[in-house]
Structure 1
């Protein structure tokens, strides 16, 4: 995983858009974004499944499925799904992804600066994007990603597009308050 500020230059969303301003795990954690790198090498004691199970149990992730974001995996929905994924939105549940193959970008809105931070995820990255944070997703130029999705409860994938109404959503308000509490601590 590599994280940096998005350059905001118009062009293909699948390109790096690397501003040269990097950020680190500590800053991402201060925004509520969690990351682990879990080896996919099955020769290592128990394989990746054991480590994912441990993290899932520790954080209360009870359910899981797999998503294959490719033209073959999504079929006729491919273009519309990619477009929807890249619209700025938030969810009322954490977005948890363990990358099995391929790669892509999660862009998160930094609060209070309102700048985009781009997170390039690769195989072995486990990323938690917290409920209430504005974000978006796109593939990179490999045009494919396969990810294990983890959920605290049953999947609830209602995206809430950024708007004044969404700004007052309880999950968004709680997210902002959690940042204010972290800044004081």
Structure 2
């Protein structure tokens, strides 16, 4: 059985059997330290500046952890997510030297700041990688994705991806309807795209326009957070 890494109130609502005594951990995320290390290194501050799952939800990022990856085809929790969120197409991709065609060129492209006009959904079957997303003020937030993690990035959100130093990640890619693999690199034209404007207006705008003392506080008025809560509530096993 898997559980979501939602707000404490939502997490506490999930029933546990007697065998399930351990607490599930939220997905790991922190502010990206712009230093001279190779991008595949963690890039953490000292001390580390962690980012909460609640904060990611406000940005529209959905995450679940500890989903059983072995034999995922029969995983009831994963299948319920697919049905609830209308993921009707899937494919498995391995990002590693000798596994991904044009590995160097493609991984370099993945790390370019870009957006999609659709959700980006990744369920990690093996290995470790990093999804970097922009915070409300433009800072990079690094999200570690590893085996058993599922992450959903909203349409119009700027982000980038890179493997960790082991250079290996196997993931299940999910899509709503016909798969689209087009990424739009950040430029003035992408800033003006309808999907980007919609994301800015519904997620970034309300937060940045709120009084400083109220910023970075989870409020139901935040569209992304409201959508995240609705999604979490809909998926229970």
Q: 2: CA distance between counterparts of 1:149 and 1:180? A: 26
Q: Does 1:22 align with 2:50?
A: yes
Tell me which residue corresponds to 1:31: 59
Name the one with the larger strand percent.
1
Does the 8 Å contact 1:14/1:141 carry over to 2? Answer: yes
Tell me which residue corresponds to 1:133: 157
Q: 2: CA distance between counterparts of 1:37 and 1:18? A: 21
Q: Give runs of ≥4 in structure 1 deviating > 6 Å.
A: none
Where does the alignment leave 5 or more consecutive residues of structure 1 unmatched? none
Q: Does 1:98 align with 2:123?
A: yes
Query: TM-score scaled to structure 1, two decimals?
Result: 0.91
Q: 1: CA distance between counterparts of 2:40 and 2:144? A: 11
Deviations 1:161-181 (A, max 9, x none): 111111110010111122157
**Structure 1 residues 23 and 48 mapped into 2: Cα distance closer, same or farther (>3 Å)?**
farther
Alignment of 1:33-112 (within 5 A): 33-40=61-68, 49-75=75-101, 77-111=102-136
Q: 1: CA distance between counterparts of 2:109 and 2:193? A: 20
Larger radius of gyration: 2
Where does the alignment leave 5 or more consecutive residues of structure 2 unmatched? 1-26, 211-220, 222-237
The CA RMSD over aligned residues, in Å, is 1.9
Query: TM-score scaled to structure 2, two decimals?
Result: 0.72
| Matched positions, count | 181
